[in-house]
Amino acid sequence: MGLTKLYLALLLLAMALPPFGVANGQGGRISAHEAGELARRQTGGRVLAVKPADGGYRVKVLTPSGEVRYVFIPDR
């Protein structure tokens, strides 16, 4: 009887958790804010704009050297 209760508890817990790899609740897709944050970390610069693009986001960044760059961040 104890094993059955344990199995049921684990099953209920698994049903309550999001699927593996889905941390943000969007089916694996990232938000525009998250895309900007990723571009900022990659370049070390300041995010000027984030726009949706085909399959992701086009992020405009001002690098520490003063150069304006565009970074593509896929939405998955």
pTM of the model: 0.64
Higher pLDDT, 3 or 76: 76
Q: If we measure between CA atoms, which residue out of 41, 46, 45 comes closest to residue 73? A: 41
Alpha-carbon distance values, 44 to 23, 37, 65, 74 (Å): 25, 10, 10, 19
Give the rounded percent of residues in the chain with a pLDDT score beyond 70.
Answer: 64
State the pLDDT at residue 21.
Answer: 45
Instruction: Average the pLDDT over each of 14-23, 50-59, 62-71 and give the range with the smallest value.
Output: 14-23
